Amino acid sequence: MPTNQDPTNSLDVGGARALRVTRDGGVTTLALGPIGGPVEIEIVIGVAGPVVRVHAAQLELTTRGPLALSCEDFHLHARGNIELRAEGDLRQLVAGDLECVAAGDVRLDGKAMRARARRGELRLEAHDDVRIDGEKVLLNS
């Protein structure tokens, strides 16, 4: 990331990798990667604060204690599958609407289940039949 304004300072960190520091106006960039190759870790320090970018084959975070993420908006995109696993409870608390859309089937399975509309209607819609199977089906009880 050399610039015309300030030459790149480079430090060989071993493993055929170098740490490059560039300055362009009020922006300083620290970039780590293979010598002559693509950037793997980049920290761009500008007026608004630091921006950290990681380009890696794999990224693992491990902690013995809590992991907290706090941000304005959170976007997660996986080209493959996503699996959330909790050995304890999982709670979703949403101040606004919650929308779940699947191109395939949706399955919910639990020891007991409850759906409640605190205000307004509860609507079930199906293109085909609606089936209710239970030991007893109680309406308005």
pLDDT classification of 14: cutoffs 50, 70, 90 = confident
pLDDT at position 2 is: 41
pLDDT classification of 116: cutoffs 50, 70, 90 = very high
pLDDT at position 8 is: 65
Reported as a single tens digit per residue, the pLDDT across 28-65 is 999 999 998 999 999 999 999 999 999 999 999 999 99
Name the nearest CA neighbour of 88 among 112, 66, 108.
66
Name which residue leads in pLDDT, 5 or 122. Answer: 122
Residues in Cβ contact with 109 at an 8 Å cutoff, skipping those fewer than 6 apart: none
Q: What mean pLDDT is reported for the chain?
A: 91
Based on the number of CB atoms within 10 Å of its own CB, is 75 exposed (0-12), middle (13-18) or buried (19 or more)?
Answer: exposed
